[in-house]
Amino acid sequence: EVQMVESGGGLVQPGGSLRLSCAASGFTFSSFTMDWVRQAPGKGLEWISFISVSSGTRYYADSVKGRFTISRDNAKNSLYLEMNNLRAEDTAVYYCAAEVDEPLSFDYWGQGTLVTVSS
């Protein structure tokens, strides 16, 4: 059974940092590109970052560029998101997603982890 479990969310003050993790199982994690997608409370989906299989290619949305860093450890079947200089507008549920069938086919999703940025 495919499972992706995010962790690391919580309450953080503006300007603070958090590291999100996504543990994958039930599929060959090392074979697929991975992304982070977030959803602010009551709002729509927002793509924030992509990482290739080898970690050689990484893309970021303008809203997080320079503040967030995506990484992966294929040996541990894990995806990470290092978030620095957090702002109130970063408050959202953060999902990890796997592109399996082809680019932009986010076939597998985690259940999400809530990040709240507030003083």
Partner 1 sequence: QSALTQPRSVSGSPGQSVTISCTGTSSDIGAYNYVSWYQQHSGKAPKLMIYGVTKRPSGVPDRFSGSKSDNTASLTISGLQADDEADYYCCSNAGTYVIFGGGTKLTVL
Residues that bind partner 1 (CB under 8 A): 35, 37, 44-47, 50, 59-63, 95, 101-107, 109-112
Query: Are β-strands 92-99 and 33-39 bridged in parallel, bridged antiparallel, or unpaired?
Result: antiparallel
**Closest C-alpha among 63, 62, 80 to residue 71:** 80
Q: Which is nearer to partner 1, 11 or 40 (CB)?
A: 40
Q: Which is nearer to partner 1, 57 or 85 (CB)?
A: 57
Residue 30 CB, nearest approach to partner 1 (Å): 21
**DSSP code for 32:** S
Q: What is the spatial distance between Cα 53 and Cα 94, in angstroms, rounded to a whole number? A: 20
Chain-centroid distance of CA 88 in Å reads 18
Q: Which is nearer to partner 1, 102 or 119 (CB)?
A: 102
Residue 22 CB, nearest approach to partner 1 (Å): 12
